[in-house]
Amino acid sequence: MSPEQGQGKKVDRGSDVYSLGVVLYEMLTGKVPFEAETPLAVVWKHVNEPLPLPRSISPEIPEAVERVVLKAMAKLPEDRYVKAGESAQALRGAVRESEAEEIIAGDQKPAREGTREGRAQPRRALRPRRFGWILLSGVLLASLAVLLSRVAPRAQFAGGRDKVVDVGTMVGDQIVTESPQPAAPGIPSAEPIAVAGTDTSAALSFICDDPLGCVTIGPGEPIRLRYLLSMSSDLGLDSMRGAEIALRDGGPIHGREVEFLGEDDGCNPDLAREAAVKIAADKSVVAMIGTNCSASAYAVASFLSEAGITMVSPSNTRPDLTDPAVHAPGYLRVVASDIFQARGAATFVFDQLGFRRTAILYHPGNPYSEGVALMFREEFEALGGQVVVSVTAESGQTDMEAALTEVGFESPDLVYLTLFPAEGAALVLQARQFAGLDGTVLMGSDSLWAQEFLDVIGDAAEGMYLSAATFDAKQSPAYQSFLAKYLAAYHESPLTSFHAHGYDAMRMVLDAIERVGIQDSGGTLHIPRSTLREALYATRDFEGLTGVLNCDTNGDCGVPQYGIFQIQAGEFVKLIP
């Protein structure tokens, strides 16, 4: 089953060529290309996994024959032979090429000791291995001849009947029976290949040798990018808006519009997995912006990376997402790790506020919430402070009485919240009415920097502190121009601190596509996936809204800046730095 058939797309003779490739693969190697426990899993591998090289299984297979199999089994129909007859012709040429190479190699061996230099040596008989290849090739060609009669292309005639005809290969507006020979793998032809009686401007050949494959975008088709964000929250909406403005600023790429659609994961790992499968199944997707929440990134980063999709997150801050031991090679982010936030918050509480006793409230099992809470504890205790109690609040919990009672019993100077907006708002509203916490200061992590949080708690937020990602460029002309565009497009101020990170993530992806895209003379754009990934990792001195971005080998590209804010009259007012 061809990849497009496995995806439920329209099939044509390209699927027949793929099937022939599968037959050739098994005859040459003695193995099927993909194996799995269920038929559905096999189909998934045909759609998503790189083809194991035939020569890695049977090294004696000639390279020229292997190239024929790889082209016949290309993931995209347009990268395969145009018709089955063309694949048979290519196989015949590969066999002749391999036979010639064997004979030449034999003739060029040095004379054995004891023979006179210059004396003509009798041509040796073909070695058994070489003879076996010729015999096997004959079997292969015979098999192809039988199969070709079943998969000949069909032409539609007046009257609605199908008639089997040899339509040859369409080049320009001409039909020819001899097709141009492809260049060597990975080397696009430098000049169009001339074919008698054809329009050679459309005959330029591009052969993809990228290990992750290439995205092929036909003339007039858009470049397709996707997002996987928490669109049901201010965090996702703000990130997407920033990315949309970057798209409008970036304009067409390689003369093409950019399509930007996506999925809402609600910061739910299960929903993120479902969405990632959908995104990976669409082989026209070039790259992805996302995720917002670290929990979602944990769930999908490795899967998408193996599927060839490179993702750039505007807001994942959990440190170990870029730990070399577990980092997925297709994962990058434009925001700094939470270690900087936790350190900044702990230092502010200890040095600026002078507090020595704190409590922490967090969501158990959530990588972001639990991670920031742990890092705050470590940083605060390293300074000489004491975390007198750590209390959990479940996702969706609205009754905070038990948690507040436990905290109030310890009488901390400050409570640090790493909760999400809904739970954080419930806790703050109830804490303001809780007698045991009179005079206790509240402080939140950047998960509470959201307009939806302020809208719910109103005046109860007054005086509360927050630690959040920040950047020094907010007074720059570039940011002021961005802000004007944001207000004009969405009729409100940015909702979180991550709108600019969404902008930078998109700008970085567009810049990389511009650098690596290859457009052939026929107007088709090719984007090699691993080359695109390498271009993103090579980002240096990139002028973004959040500062100058530089990506390291683990995908960290963000500027390590966090600030301390205070809510004053319904606004987040920056205090430090």
Q: Looking at the structure, do residues 349 and 431 belong to the same domain, yes or no?
A: yes
Peptide bond into 59 cis (omega under 30): no
- Judged by DSSP in three states, 440 sits in coil
The CATH number given to whatever domain includes residue 452 is 3.40.50.2300
This prediction's pTM:
0.59
Q: Looking at the structure, do residues 152 and 165 belong to the same domain, yes or no?
A: yes
* Domain-ending residue, one of 463, 497, 524: 463
For residues 34 and 300, what is the distance between their CA atoms, to the nearest angstrom? 23
210 belongs to a structural domain: no
Residue 214: name the closest of 88, 62, 8, 70 by CA.
Answer: 70
Q: Helix H segments across 432-528?
A: 451-457, 477-490, 499-516
The CATH number given to whatever domain includes residue 101 is 1.10.510
Q: Looking at the structure, do residues 392 and 348 belong to the same domain, yes or no?
A: yes
The DSSP bridge partners found for residue 576 are 564
User: Which pLDDT tens digit goes with each residue over 371-425?
Assistant: 999 999 999 999 999 999 999 999 899 999 999 999 999 999 999 999 999 999 9
121 belongs to a structural domain: no
For residues 306 and 411, what is the distance between their CA atoms, to the nearest angstrom? 50
Q: Looking at the structure, do residues 275 and 302 belong to the same domain, yes or no?
A: yes
190 belongs to a structural domain: no
**Who contacts 438 (Cβ-Cβ below 8 Å, separation ≥6)?**
none
DSSP at 64: H
The two tokens of residue 78 are 């347009």
Do residues 446 and 563 make contact, with C-beta atoms less than 8 angstroms apart? no
Q: How many domains does the chain have?
A: 3
Structural domain boundaries enclosing 364? 338-463
Q: Looking at the structure, do residues 506 and 395 belong to the same domain, yes or no?
A: no
Q: What is the pLDDT of residue 472?
A: 66
Q: Looking at the structure, do residues 353 and 323 belong to the same domain, yes or no?
A: no
DSSP at 329: T
Q: Helix H segments across 127-281?
A: 128-151, 234-250, 269-281
Q: What is the pLDDT of residue 369?
A: 92
Q: Looking at the structure, do residues 130 and 237 belong to the same domain, yes or no?
A: no
350 belongs to a structural domain: yes
Phi, psi (5° rounding) for residue 408?
Answer: -60, -30
* Binned average pLDDT, 10 residues per bin, the chain of 577 residues: 77 85 91 82 83 91 89 90 78 72 49 38 41 51 50 34 30 32 34 29 64 95 97 94 96 94 94 96 97 94 96 93 95 93 94 96 92 94 96 92 93 94 93 87 91 89 88 78 96 90 97 94 93 96 93 93 88 84
288 belongs to a structural domain: yes
Q: Looking at the structure, do residues 459 and 487 belong to the same domain, yes or no?
A: no
Residue 501: name the closest of 300, 307, 321, 292 by CA.
Answer: 292
The two tokens of residue 56 are 């890695």
For residues 219 and 527, what is the distance between their CA atoms, to the nearest angstrom? 14
Q: Looking at the structure, do residues 302 and 231 belong to the same domain, yes or no?
A: yes
Residue 320: name the closest of 388, 375, 261 by CA.
Answer: 375
Q: Looking at the structure, do residues 436 and 509 belong to the same domain, yes or no?
A: no
195 belongs to a structural domain: no
Q: How many CB atoms lie within 10 A of CB 306?
A: 16
Cα atoms in the 13 Å half-sphere on the side-chain side of 516: 25
For residues 32 and 251, what is the distance between their CA atoms, to the nearest angstrom? 45
Q: How many CB atoms lie within 10 A of CB 316?
A: 30
Q: Looking at the structure, do residues 456 and 548 belong to the same domain, yes or no?
A: no
Q: Looking at the structure, do residues 382 and 482 belong to the same domain, yes or no?
A: no
354 belongs to a structural domain: yes
